[in-house]
Structure formats: C-alpha cells, structure tokens
Structure 1
C-alpha cells in the first residue's frame, strides 16, 4: 500500500465495515497524501435542502431551481462546516483542485455565487467530511474495509444519490449482492 494515491477515487464500504457513519457509503477521495486523506460521502442526503442551508447562513437564494437540491452528510468530521464539490473548479477563496475539472471548496463565496447566479451549476453540498490520519486509510484498505475504483464526475453530478453506489460498483463489474461480509487473504 506504500505510495498509493487515491485522490479522485471512490471508496466503496465493504459489508464488514460496521461503522454506522460508513455503512453502505460511497466516499469520494478529494485528497490523499503522506499526511492522510480527506473524502466526502456522496450518497447520504440529510433532511435539509439547499434553500434551508443558505437561509441558515444568511445567503439569499435567487436561483430558485436549486432550492430543493439536497444537502449531504459528508462525514463525521466538522459537521458544522459546509463543503461544496463542484465542476468546474472556478476561482474561489478556498478550493482544493481534485483534478482538472472538479474542486472542493469550503469558503462562503462559492455558496454566495450558487445563491445569486446558480454557479457553479454542478454542485454537491455537504456538511462534514471524512478524514484519515497518516497511514489510517492504508490500514483500513489492508483490512479489506474498502474497495477502490477511479471516480467519474458523472456519478457525482448526474446521478441521484441512491444510484451512485451501484454505479461505482458497476465500474468494478460487480454488484453489492456479490460482496461477502467475510474477508480473506490469498
């Protein structure tokens, strides 16, 4: 597992992963390096839409077509903080470029732009993120807690949340029903 960089990959939680935060989760890895990893769970909408989130932080929503867009549980770290996955990357105050098209922004300016102009048009808004310390994700991978597959922006932005995990699994050529909750090593 040394020198594996999973930035711009999906993690698919294996059935053996009993942590309630990650059971049946599809995590998009936004950054992975020697210091650890940061990801966003992309298939867990919460009981909040974009209109109510923007209202809570005093941003006017003029792009009414986005009002019912769901907000997601991004992970158990910093649940009071918003993160926006978006395409294109754009020019925001605090953006992590994940690849040449997709960015993760944690600054308020991106939400202000979404509220006023509806841009960037392709977004996924989360509260919280998933984080791993140095070596922690590699250890979980060695324990067969996760499957990995290269991410595809269309899965993030074009599919409803309930279709994202099956679509990522399909990239591997398997379905969730084929996975065992018993891990082994050859």
Structure 2
C-alpha cells in the first residue's frame, strides 16, 4: 500500500511505544522534520546528552557565547551524533532553515547559533546532537510492529516541557494515560 501525502508525519511528534524492539529508543520522543517516500528524519527531544551544555558547544565551534543561555543539549539520535540541529520557533529563519509545519522550524547551520549567541535568534529553541533516520518505508514497517505512535505536533510539549517529561506529556496531550499502555500487542 502506498503512503499518501496526508499520511506523512512531518510536523508531528513520534513516540516510542512501551516495549519497543530497539532499546536505544526507550521512551524516545522525536520531532519528525522530514518524512516522504524516500525516508524520514527525526530529532530526539526526550533525552539529554550527559554533561554537554550549549555555551560549551558554541565555544567548540568558535562562536563567542555572549549572553546566550547555558541550556542543556538533547540527544537527537544515533545518526551523526556530532552534528548539531536547532529546533526553533518560526520567528527566525536562515538560508537553510526548513519549515516543520505546523510545529517549528529546523536549522543546522552556524548562522542560527550565532544569532542565538548575539540575542537576535528565535524566541523559542532547543539544540540537539545527532538525529534518527529511516530509509524509505522503514518507519512505516516499524510502526506496524508496535514500535512507534505518531502524535500531533504539540508545541507546548516541545518548548514548554522539560526533556524528561516530554514522553508522558505528549501521551497526555493525545488524551492517553501512558500508565495504561501495554508492552506487547496481540494477534487476532
């Protein structure tokens, strides 16, 4: 069965189901930035990178931190864990900014980091290292195997909820009590 444009998950939040088959994604929360017939790219927002702070990253790439807040850095996913991504409000945009409608925007250039450090960046933002990626049809297959749930794009979860609370908060925003979720599925 072919996936239609309306079924693509860009702009939504992808949640790992309890008992997911891949332990690297336990209680994973991903903002789906790209999803089409060629595959998918999501940025993890449910786990933090231990000991990594934003101002430290700015210094590592040669940007004066200025008055930038020293926020925690998210574990964006297992692919290219040294590559940085900024999910942010749509009030800022650079040359390579991608709209992640209706939730946010995604930037991966040094321009957004400089703008944040100089106090002219987006109002709301978070930074992640790495991403989660799927080949064409791979994500759809994992969803059929009780791996993932596609939630709506809940902006309040993205920007107003601490990382450790985003998995449960997204389920609640969907009207689901996560304590009632089962670790396995049955077969009819």
So what's the TM-score if we normalise by structure 2?
0.91
Aligned to 1:42: 45
List gaps (5 residues or longer) in structure 2.
none
2:32 corresponds in structure 1 to 29
Q: Does 1:61 align with 2:65?
A: yes
Deviation sequence 1:102-154 (CA, Å, 0-9, x none)? 11111110001111115212111000000000000000011111111111111
RMSD between superposed Cα atoms in Å? 1.6
Residue 96 of structure 1 corresponds to: 98
Q: 1:114 and 1:185 mapped to 2: Cα distance? A: 50
Contact 1:89–1:102, Cα closer than 8 Å, also in 2 = no
- SS of residue matched to 1:117: coil
Task: State the SS of the aligned residue for 1:32.
Answer: strand
Distance (Å, rounded) in 2 between the aligned partners of 1:44 and 1:18: 18
* 2:75 maps to which of 61, 73, 76: 73
CA–CA separation in structure 2 for the residues paired with 1:39 and 1:120: 20
How many residues align? The count is 184
- Structure 1's consecutive aligned runs of 4 or more residues displaced over 3 angstroms after TM superposition are none
Whole-Å Cα distance in 1 between the matches of residues 48 and 153 of structure 2? Answer: 19
Alignment partner, residue 134 of structure 1: 136
TM-score normalised by the chain length of structure 1: 0.92
